[in-house]
Amino acid sequence: MQVINGLLRVCSSLKNEPLIVAQTFELSRGRHNAEQNFVDLLISVCWIGVLRSLLRIISGRIFLGLINQTKENSMSQSLFKEISELRDELHGQRYSLTVIHNYCLYAGQFLAYLEEQAIELRDVTPDLVAESLLHAARQFRKDRGRVPATGWASIPRSGIHALLRSALPAWPPAPPAANEAERLTRETCGQYEKWLRHERGLAEPSITALMWEARHFCKWFIQRQGKANFADLSVRDIDAYMDIRVPGLTRRSVKDVAERLRGFLRHLHRSRLHPDDLSGHVIAPLLYAYEGIPSILTADQIAAVLEFAGEDSSPLGLRDHAILQLLANYGLRSGEVGRLQIEDINWRADTLHVHRSKNHTLANLPLLEPVGEAILRYLRDGRPDTDVRTIFVRSRAPYQAMTAGGLYGVVKRRLGAAGIGLSGKRGPHIFRHARAVSMLRASTPRKIIGDVLGHRSPESTAPYLKLATEDLRAIAIDLPGREVKQ
């Protein structure tokens, strides 16, 4: 540090040293071009400034390293191990050096707080984390004489949660059951989830929706009865639950709620927790086949979205453009796009391997030129440096595979940027509808359409026929009667 400080003082003295200026003019005395003399002098001054900046950066890095080393030396061996493992994990997830430093700093303070309180890391609860943040805020005010800024606790909280996710098998932990009724409810829902996953073999989104409804119903039933004796469940209880559940929902959503509740009621009867099968008493609205027409994009709208997204050359724009190309050209489900791996593209054979979401099969599709070029640009110039093999990852650390919500946000954001407003849904599925309509209008056989979309049976493709409204008008029958003016 003394050497670096000495060099900085030398640079400071050299910056305004007349000798430098005199020597610079001396070297250029034989020249006759005044502009060249000025340029040479400017270069000399710039080099001195660059040298001073580099020395400041180096000294800052060394200073931070000495601070970290001092803090780590003061830690116990177990705490030092936890911080080292956290730092290695954050490095592996490609966090920036600043974020790694801040996270490890606050994680170390949290570990020191636990050591003072004689609390083991495995015994940490969310309430204890909140208490430690209040203690840190009080310490901040004591050290600096002012109250922390609004939102100050977000970075310490993130660092503590990163430590707990790294050190504990599960975080945040499930809160303990408050009473016997809640314990019985968790046991029943756990058995139901196991049956859905292993016996029925349902997809994860379906299991999530069914389990949410089951847990919500159990929570409501406990609050209503004060106990979890499902043998006392009656038809009146079911009607009361539906009365508080359906307000504000569409007919389609009410139908979904009823079907999920029926599944859980059948499980109660199958598990002998209730003597009767009450699923038949759940009343749901009658939906007619193909009664609704979902949102659909026209060919011009799809072209506009792809054009606007293609003009964005940022890493985020390259990723979004490749995703939109896959959705528009193949009509893939969001889960199928999110699960694509780097190995799923055969660049030599120009093929794309798609893992179907619902029938769990592998489809080999030709790699279309615009899709391949968009993905290649993203892999070369936009994809972060990460060990994750999924093609599309988050644009910020940790670089993990994109979720269904992330893909929905991509479509919604790019539709808005292109100035396209839709009255209904605006998620990735609207590209699937548009792809089906384009194939229908091209007189593609329904069997091929089903294969491209990944349907199990030809009947699954039938609902897409209602989307080709313009084609249906061509075969409409004129009925006699008075003309209705719009």
Query: Would you please indicate which residues are annotated as catalytic (active-site) residues?
Result: 333, 358, 429, 432, 455, 464
Residue showing tokens 């209040």? 134
The rounded distance, in Å, linking the Cα atoms of 127 and 407 is: 33
Residue 383 structure tokens: 């994809």
Residue showing tokens 């061509």? 474
Residues present in the chain in total: 486
The rounded distance, in Å, linking the Cα atoms of 272 and 230 is: 10
Q: Cα 82 from chain centroid?
A: 27
Q: Could you give phi then psi for residue 319, rounded to 5 degrees?
A: -65, -50
Residue showing tokens 């359409």? 449
Instruction: Decide if 53 contacts 46 (C-beta within 8 A).
Output: no
Q: Fill in the amino acid letter for 426.
A: R
Q: Could you give phi then psi for residue 74, rounded to 5 degrees?
A: -80, -15
The rounded distance, in Å, linking the Cα atoms of 356 and 368 is: 19
For the chain, how big is the Rg over CA atoms in Å? 32
The rounded distance, in Å, linking the Cα atoms of 22 and 63 is: 36
For residue 283, what are the contacts with CB-CB under 8 A and spacing of at least 6? Answer: 239, 242, 258
